A = this chain, B = another copy of it.
């Protein structure tokens, strides 16, 4: 089985939580990685199933009631996650910004700017708030760094859209 970023997000969140249901994962994504990498919740049902088939997660299902599924890491799962985290090679992300596509094909940037500026400013404010709460907590270096990068990114976009306004 080929492991995708989605797989590692699931593995990572399960590791952080110890044990998680798809719904926990949904909440986990929304409150953390989801800021820069969202996953539709249907994938959070499908993906753990795949990972369980591959032996990287252990699945348990409630016998009564709603028969909820919950997952935890197997040894193999932990190894796969750690190998990925430890590997210094990564792919490159693409910009894939729809507004840039429009500009490329002739849109007037000044017309796009107001909506883009509002969106970026809102996210920037959100990030600043989260980071204020997070700083000082123990064991949050990773999340704090990604937030810092998120902030720099929003600032960079804001400068761009201001320039073309």
Q: Which residues of A contact B (CB under 8 A)?
A: 5, 8-9, 12, 15-16, 32-33, 36-38, 81, 84-86, 88-107, 109, 111-112, 114-116, 119, 142-143, 145-146, 148-150, 152-153, 156, 159-160, 164
Contact = CB atoms under 8 A, between A and B. Distances in A.
Contacts of A101: 5, 8-9, 12, 33, 37
A109 B115 CA distance: 33
A57 B159 CA distance: 38
Contacts of A164: 145
Nearest to A12: B105
Given A37-B96, A95-B150, A105 B160 contact: no
